[in-house]
Amino acid sequence: MSQHQEKARIIRFEQLSELNVRITLDAPLIAASADAGQFVMIRTGSGQDPLLRRPFSLHQTSSSGYIQIYFKNVGRGTHILAHTKVGELLDVFGPLGRGFRFARDRAACLVGGGLGIAPMLFLAKKIASSSRDHGRDLIILGGRSREDVEPLVEDFKEFGLALRCATDDGSFGIKGLVTDLVKSEHLTRDTVVYGCGPENMLEALNRFCRSRGIACQVSVESVMACGMGACLGCNIDAAQGDYLHVCIDGPVFNTEDLAWNS
Amino acid sequence: MEFVNERDSYPDLRVDIGGLSLRNPVMTASGTFGYAREFENLVNLHRLGGVIVKGISLRPRAGNPPQRIVETPCGMLNAIGLQNVGVERFIAEKMKYLKGIDVPVIVNILGDTVDEYRMLTERLRGVEGIAALEVNISCPNVKRGGVAFGTVPSMAAAVTEAVKKAADVPVIVKLSPNVNDIGEMARAVESAGADSISLINTLIGMAIDVERRKPVLANVIGGLSGPAIKPVALRMVYQAAGSVNIPVIGIGGIETTGDALEFLLAGATAIQVGTANFINPRVSEELVDGIGEYVKSHKLNSVRELIGALEF
Ligand SMILES: Cc1cc2nc3c(=O)[nH]c(=O)nc-3n(C[C@H](O)[C@H](O)[C@H](O)COP(=O)(O)OP(=O)(O)OC[C@H]3O[C@@H](n4cnc5c(N)ncnc54)[C@H](O)[C@@H]3O)c2cc1C
Ligand SMILES: Cc1cc2nc3c(=O)[nH]c(=O)nc-3n(C[C@H](O)[C@H](O)[C@H](O)COP(=O)(O)O)c2cc1C
Ligand code: FES
């Protein structure tokens, strides 16, 4: 495992909607070793409050040594990050966790809901750059309304994979849920579904995939202190009764390894 | 000076914690440094004074359900529930790596009964690579209605005595801060044979989610750690050091060189870094450098001149 603690300069700052921000950071060591679905822990300030780092999925990396995060301003830490400026340094630690296990020989269906779109760009890039037929690969993006989805669509389009969108209010793509789109797509049994998004979306995705016998990997969240297996604070219920730890066993899990409420 | 070895002898940071010599006073606290291997690419482990591994019990423990941690102002609450692989897997899987690293490995132990502490200690006797034991007495005594061993002097003494009798390495007793008179507790474990004491373990706290009107932690209450507890920890180390003759190891909210020096001045012979490892995985090594700089710039013969050197 190669993890790095880098003082990363902010190269670009994009306010993609009122609360959603994308930051590009110069973090060559992390960029060089990261995989789709992995995450980084970022210090939002330099003082003691907020104390802990915050976890963010890697949105994208580039061969020029840049990494991107895409996040929503939901609380104190993300508020500070949402008010940073180009040129400032952020303390970034990563890459961390186990990412998506991309099945090269099987069709891929990527499902990103809301901020769950974040890791999907990295995965889409990886899939698009693998030499194989992409005729059956599909990306499905969704959110509450236009501003959650539209600003990211151009980046996904670049890869030339099929793309469908849905919003709760119908302001962009179809009106409905991403899982409605998944259901209408006649996925074959050899498809692998890769999902990230709010808990109820992941539950619906799990229910659907299980009923069709389709393999499904999801990226999940938990509170975290260390992000590297040292504190044991990030446990979630495992299918077999015991616990799994999101930061080292995940954040990407096969849905059958997790315990689901429904 | 017989030889000059930059790493070990200049500046002279060596300390002795009751039968165990450390190359410097900086150790990592139990439960915040995994089994050390997690940090091998981030920290030069051989530069630390010692590492204390996650608490081990006789049988494996699954720990508490989620949510186990929550951030609080300048600190965090945890209710991990002493999750660990159990002593057999610890010896079979973790010691293999730990015995090969060039740093004293201190094994933190816990139990539900005095007997369990004793059996655990017997099982660890003779295991290669263990430099000392640290006894976590902040656990509930199931035979005494769940009252924590560390809150009743006679119970703390009983555990200390049982472990000390069975152990073949120095025994550090880790005190709970959730007591009225820390000096009394320190004296109780000293009389029972402890080679040194470490303190503080976490302070019991709580957080509530007002929207859901529920406790944030599944366990309802948890242990507070981080910079928020430093003043309390420092006061307790000062009082404990004034109450016993055995070495005291200071723990609680240590993040900077200045924090570490405060504990030494208050009477600690060594220190442990806990929560700060989560924020800066390299912090322990940075503290070794920082303390070394201080010793040099203040032209001290050794770091030992700082221990309890508080002036009034
Ligand atoms: C592996 C992983 C990857 C993540 N990737 C992204 C990402 O790419 N983009 C993104 O916007 N967010 C992501 N998150 C969530 C992000 O970490 C939280 O939004 C962030 O920690 C909130 O910090 P804060 O200080 O702003 O909020 P706080 O002030 O700490 O809390 C504000 C609100 O956010 C909720 N919250 C706090 N921490 C989390 C958390 N870890 N997960 C979910 N909700 C939380 C709280 O319950 C509260 O309601 C990820 C989380 C994990 C575990
Ligand atoms: C997540 C977590 C797990 C801990 N686990 C243990 C443990 O297993 N045994 C123990 O004796 N102390 C444990 N502690 C307590 C620490 O070792 C230390 O005493 C305490 O956190 C205060 O130091 P700090 O403020 O530097 O973190 C734990 C602390 C934290 C934050
Ligand atoms: S966040 Fe610390 S172990 Fe997962």
Is A207 a domain residue? yes
Who's near B6: CB < 8 A, 6+ residues apart? none
Q: Are residues A63 and A89 in the same domain?
A: yes
- The residue of B30, B33, B45, B279 whose CB has the most chain A CBs within 10 angstroms, and thus the best one to mutate to test that interface, is B279
What pLDDT sits at residue B2? 45
Q: ∠ at Cα A235 (B48, A223), nearest 5°?
A: 80
Statement: residue A262 has pLDDT above 80: no
Is A62 a domain residue? yes
Is A149 a domain residue? yes
Statement: residue A228 has pLDDT above 60: yes
A87: exposed, middle or buried (Cβ count in 10 Å: 0-12, 13-18, 19+): exposed
Q: Are residues A85 and A114 in the same domain?
A: no
Average pLDDT of the residues of chain A = 95
- Where residue B3 falls among pLDDT bands split at 50, 70, 90? very low
Statement: residue A1 has pLDDT above 80: no
Mean pLDDT of A7-12: 97
Q: Are residues A89 and A159 in the same domain?
A: no
Q: pLDDT > 90: what percent of chain B?
A: 93
B286: distance to nearest CA of chain A, Å? 14
A214: amino acid identity, one letter: I
B227: distance to nearest CA of chain A, Å? 7
> Using one digit for the tens of pLDDT, what is the confidence trace for A137-194?
999 999 999 999 999 999 999 999 999 999 999 999 999 999 999 999 989 999 999 9
The rounded distance, in Å, linking the Cα atoms of A158 and B230 is 52
Q: Are residues A38 and A8 in the same domain?
A: yes
Residue at which a domain ends, from A41, A66, A95: A95
What pLDDT sits at residue B114? 95
Q: Are residues A121 and A210 in the same domain?
A: yes
Q: The domain that contains A90 carries what CATH number?
A: 2.40.30.10
- A245 contacts in chain B (CB < 8 Å): none
Q: ∠ at Cα B287 (B96, B3), nearest 5°?
A: 75
- Where residue B147 falls among pLDDT bands split at 50, 70, 90? confident
Mean pLDDT of A78-107: 96
Among the bound ligands, the one closest to the CA of A97:
1
Is A257 a domain residue? no
Statement: residue A117 has pLDDT above 70: yes
Q: pLDDT > 70: what percent of chain B?
A: 97
- Where residue B46 falls among pLDDT bands split at 50, 70, 90? very high
- B32 contacts in chain A (CB < 8 Å): 226, 230-231
> Using one digit for the tens of pLDDT, what is the confidence trace for B54-107?
999 999 999 999 999 999 999 999 999 999 999 999 999 999 999 999 999 999
Is A102 a domain residue? no
Nearest-Cα residue of chain B relative to residue A47: B74
pTM: 0.95
| 0.90 surpassed by complex ipTM | yes
Average pLDDT of the residues of chain B = 94
Q: Are residues A75 and A117 in the same domain?
A: no
- Where residue A132 falls among pLDDT bands split at 50, 70, 90? confident
> Using one digit for the tens of pLDDT, what is the confidence trace for B237-281?
999 999 999 999 999 999 999 999 999 999 999 999 999 999 999
Statement: residue B9 has pLDDT above 70: no
Task: Enumerate the β-bridge partners of residue B272.
Answer: B27, B251
Q: Are residues A116 and A190 in the same domain?
A: yes
Is A206 a domain residue? yes
Q: The domain that contains A118 carries what CATH number?
A: 3.40.50.80
Statement: residue A45 has pLDDT above 90: no
Look up the domain containing A53 and give its range.
4-95
How many domains does one find in chain A? 2
Among residues B180, B203, B311, B190, the alpha carbon closest in space to that of B241 is found at B190
- Does the annotation count B74 as an active-site position? no
> Using one digit for the tens of pLDDT, what is the confidence trace for B148-189?
899 999 999 999 999 999 999 999 999 999 999 999 999 999
- Choice among A83-97, A106-120, A131-145, A245-259 with the minimum mean pLDDT: A131-145
Is A235 a domain residue? no
Among residues A142, A152, A205, the alpha carbon closest in space to that of A175 is found at A142
Q: Are residues A124 and A52 in the same domain?
A: no
Query: Which of the following CATH numbers is that of domain B15-62+81-202+227-300: 2.60.210.10, 3.30.200.20, 1.10.10.10, 3.20.20.70?
Result: 3.20.20.70
Catalytic residue of the set B43, B139, B157, B261: B139
Q: Are residues A89 and A114 in the same domain?
A: no
Q: Are residues A19 and A85 in the same domain?
A: yes
Question: Parallel, antiparallel, or unpaired for β B26-28 and B270-273?
Answer: parallel
Among residues A182, A166, A192, the alpha carbon closest in space to that of A101 is found at A192
Phi, then psi, of B232 in degrees rounded to 5: -65, -45
Is A252 a domain residue? no
- Where residue B145 falls among pLDDT bands split at 50, 70, 90? confident
Q: Are residues A47 and A116 in the same domain?
A: no
B239: amino acid identity, one letter: Q
User: Residue A13 C-alpha to ligand 3 middle, in angstroms?
Assistant: 29
Establish whether residue A11 lines the binding site of ligand 3, counting it when its CB lies within 6 angstroms of any ligand atom. Answer: no
Q: Are residues A16 and A69 in the same domain?
A: yes
